[in-house]
Amino acid sequence: MRIISPHLDYSVQVFEGSERVEHDAVTGKAYTRTDKQPLVADFEQGGLYPHEVEEGLRVFEGAWGGLPEGINPSTRISVYDTEIMAYTKQWTPEFLEQVDERFRRLAVISPTRLLIVDDLHSAKPWPKYDDADAEEIVAYMGVLGIDPEVIRLYESENAARPDLLNALQGEINEQTEKVVTVNA
Residues in the chain: 184
> Do residues 57 and 51 lie in contact, with contact meaning Cβ atoms separated by under 8 Å?
no
Give pLDDT tens digits for 58-72. Answer: 888 877 677 778 888
> Do residues 2 and 52 lie in contact, with contact meaning Cβ atoms separated by under 8 Å?
yes
Distance CA 43, CA 4 (A): 8
Grouping H, G, I as helix, E, B as strand and the rest as coil, residue 41 is strand
- With 0-12 CB in 10 A as exposed, 13-18 as middle and 19+ as buried, what is 163? exposed
Question: Domain limits of the chain?
Answer: 2-117, 129-178
Grouping H, G, I as helix, E, B as strand and the rest as coil, residue 177 is helix
Buried/exposed code over 72-106 (b: 16+ C-beta within 10 A; e: otherwise)? eeeebbbbbbbeebbeeeebeeeebeebeebbeeb
116 pLDDT higher than 90: yes
pLDDT at 94: 96
Q: Which residues pair with 23 in a beta bridge?
A: 30
pLDDT at 181: 52
Distance CA 160, CA 4 (A): 31
pLDDT at 69: 82
- The model's confidence at residue 74, banded by pLDDT at 50, 70 and 90, is confident
182 pLDDT higher than 70: no
